[in-house]
Structure 1
Amino acid sequence: MADENRIPLPNPRTKNPLIFPDGSHDPATVFLSEVIDHPNIEVGDWTYYNDRSLPDDHAGALAPYLFPGAPEQLRIGRFCQIAQGVQFITATANHPMDGLSTYPFSVFDPDRMGTYRASLPRGRDTIVGHDCWIGREAVLMPGAELGCGVIVAARAVVRGKIPDYAVVSGNPAKIIRMRFNPAEISQLLEIAWWSWPSEKIARNLHLIEQGDVLALAEQNDVDTMN
């Protein structure tokens, strides 16, 4: 008989949370909060990245132009799923555009490298909401903002703000459909199951996995009253 008290959620402090039937851990699947230590990157619990190339520097693989102390931030919510090859192109990838050439001459001059970085405009932060799925080799451009529950198709190029629970595809990425109707989206954002304690999430996994918004909302009301 299954242990009803068992919490099926993996420990968010685990580096490699995916365990095969033989007991071995998949080295390609990592909880990003446990492998990224970067002052400009914030990642929520249970957000994972899968990359069969096994990068040594996950921050560098995902956000290659975001240097420590850059004027912008990359913020990723909880329970996101990020596929191999995804990249966040932050504003610090820009070149100067005020002169006659966009060639970054000062980058190759150690005495002027610091002034080059300081001359770049303050870019908008790149934000990924909770429970987003970003497909293989998708690119998020400077200042992109995903709402909660967004699905980004493989190799999509995302600019601007994407609404909650949209599915986007293409270059530039366009909304191809919404996952739920407006009333259901409003309910999901109010419920915000991703912010619940892990024990409550575990108790309600069957409802989260079923996709019945009303049932989850009703159960949340019951839990709140208790």
Structure 2
Amino acid sequence: MRTFALDIGNTAVKYGCFDGPVLLETATGQTAAQVMAAVERLQPQHAIVASVAEPTSDWAATLRRRLPGTVLEFSSATTPLPLRNAYATPHTLGADRLAAAVGAAWLRPHQHILIVDAGTAIKCDLVEGGHTFRGGSIAPGLHMRFRALHTFTGRLPLVEIPADGAAPLPLTGDDTTSAIRSGVLNGAVAEVNGFIASYQAQYPGLSVVLAGGDAAFFQPRLKGPIFGIPELVLIGLHRILAYNVEL
């Protein structure tokens, strides 16, 4: 049985097509035409649509005209989940955070899990015991930090992450550009490592899962065993769809 997971983010649209539990194909930065072309080519039976940016209704309506089965519009507040959601305000919870939690709980069952999702924002979220989403933290992502320094000052330049994200990063910048890079990048790494250490102190044996567009930058810089799962949100969406249509 083929399924289609569509993740509409703040900066990009991403899809994944699954055959049973296997992720067959994924692509990001997609237009609506590209998504529908993929649907026509891959011929999934069911789909799930999640968004943190725009309403899902138009996307879902278009998919329903093309798919023979269920098209599920994922809502953090109302969609049944294979996970307990202990967030105090589920109607404000981003679909990507909850989908990532479902994916992590499925991949790392019966464990305490810290999910570090480094994208537009840097989210550190806790799944307790592999069965309960507790919530976590949200902070500006790397690109947002660079843009903020440029936008809210009179003379600081707009700086980007180095093309080689794994290259050594000097602690002491010897010009304004390298000083900004040190402050933003070294600061973000120290921040995330601090969260990991604090959660590890509370939850011995904690499993740390890393996802998001900037995961490749963080992976070599975070302390302890880190499980990089780039398609974590798509995997979680697929599991939510499977739970709801009993695939």
TM-score relative to the length of structure 1:
0.26
Structure that is richer in strand per residue: 2
TM-score relative to the length of structure 2:
0.25
Does 1 or 2 have the higher relative contact order (CA < 8 Å, sep 6+)?
2
Structure that is richer in helix per residue: 2
